[in-house]
Chain A
Amino acid sequence: MYTNKTLKVINLIEYIELVFTDYTLRTITLGTTILGAVTGMLGSFAVLRKQSLLGDAISHAALPGIAIAFLITGAKDSNTLLIGALISGLIGTFWIRGIVTKTHLKSDTALGLILSLFFGFGMLLLTFIQKQPNANQAGLDKYLFGQAATLVESDVWLMAIVTGICFIVMLTFWKEFKILLFDADYAQTLGFNTKFIDILITTFIVLAIVLGLQTVGVVLMSAMLLAPAAAARQWTNSLSVMVLLAAIFGALSGVFGTAISASQDNLSTGPVIVLVAGVFVVFSFIFSPSRGLLFKQIRFIKNRRDLELHKTLAFMHHIAETHEDISHPHAVKLLNNFQGYTRSTLQKLVDKNYVQLHGNMWSLTKTGFEVASNLYTKQSTEDE
Chain B
Amino acid sequence: MKKDSKKNIKHSSSSDETSTSTEVIAVKVDDLTVAYNYKPVLWDIDLEIPEGVLMAIVGPNGAGKSTLIKSILGILKPIAGSVSIYGKPYEKQRQLVAYVPQKGSVDWDFPTTALDVVMMGTYGSLGWIKRPGQKEKKAALEALEKVGMLAFKSRQISQLSGGQQQRIFLARALVQNASIYFMDEPFQGVDATTEIAIINILKELRKAGKTVIVVHHDLQTVPEYFDWVTFLNVKKIATGPVKDIFNDDNLTKTYGINYKVSIQE
Residues of A within 8 A of B (CB): 48, 50, 104, 172-176, 178-179, 181-183, 185-192, 233, 236-239, 241-242, 383-384
Contacts and interface: CB of A to CB of B under 8 A. Distances in A.
B70 A237 contact: no
Interface string B108-135: 0011110001001001101111111000
A177 B37 CA distance: 29
B193 interface: yes
Given A175-B123, A383-B161, A237 B112 contact: yes
Given A175-B132, A176-B128, A189 B120 contact: no
B131 A175 contact: yes
B210 interface: no
A185 B120 CA distance: 12
B37 A104 contact: yes
B105 A172 contact: no
B101 A104 contact: no
B73 interface: yes
A237 to B, nearest CB: 4
B156 interface: yes
Contacts of B110: 48, 181-182, 239
Contact of B101 (A173, A175, A186, A384): A186
B75 A191 contact: no
Nearest to B130: A175
A358 B105 CA distance: 60
A182 B123 CA distance: 13
B249 to A, nearest CB: 35
Given A188-B75, A237-B156, 17 more contacts: A50-B107, A172-B129, A182-B110, A185-B99, A185-B105, A186-B101, A187-B123, A189-B73, A189-B124, A191-B1, A191-B124, A192-B128, A233-B111, A237-B111, A238-B112, A239-B110, A383-B161
A384 B75 contact: no
Given A188-B75, A189-B75, A189-B97, A179 B120 contact: yes
B36 A104 contact: yes
A185 B111 contact: no
Q: Is the interface of B mostly helix, strand, loop or mixed?
A: loop
Q: Is the interface of A mostly helix, strand, loop or mixed?
A: helix
Contacts of B130: 175
Given A185-B70, A189-B73, A191-B124, A239 B112 contact: yes
A191 B2 CA distance: 10
Contacts of B70: 185
A73 B161 CA distance: 60
A174 B123 CA distance: 12
Interface centre among B91, B97, B107, B131, by most A CB within 10 Å? B107
Contacts of A50: 107
Nearest to A233: B111
Given A188-B74, A190-B94, A179 B106 contact: no
Contacts of B132: 175
Contact of B111 (A190, A238, A383): A238
12 contacts: A48-B107, A48-B111, A173-B129, A175-B126, A176-B128, A179-B120, A186-B120, A190-B94, A190-B123, A192-B124, A236-B111, A239-B111
Contacts of A233: 111
A192 B123 contact: yes
Contacts of A237: 111-113, 156
Nearest to A193: B128
Q: Which 7 A-B pairs have the closest CB atoms?
A: A190-B124, A237-B156, A191-B1, A189-B99, A189-B73, A191-B94, A183-B106
Interface string B16-58: 0000000000000000000011000000000000000000000
Contacts of A175: 123, 126, 129-132
Contacts of B124: 189-192
Nearest to B148: A384
A198 B36 CA distance: 21
A172 B101 CA distance: 27
A190 to B, nearest CB: 3
A104 B106 CA distance: 20
B10 to A, nearest CB: 24
A104 B39 CA distance: 13
Contacts of A48: 107, 110-111
Interface centre among B124, B127, B130, by most A CB within 10 Å? B124
Given A238-B111, A383-B161, A384-B193, A182 B106 contact: yes
Contacts of B120: 178-179, 182-183, 186
A183 B123 contact: no
B153 to A, nearest CB: 13
B43 to A, nearest CB: 19
Nearest to B124: A190
Contacts of A182: 106-107, 110, 112, 117, 120
A191 B97 CA distance: 11
B182 to A, nearest CB: 9
Nearest to B131: A175
Nearest to B132: A175
A143 B112 CA distance: 38
Nearest to B72: A189
A60 to B, nearest CB: 26
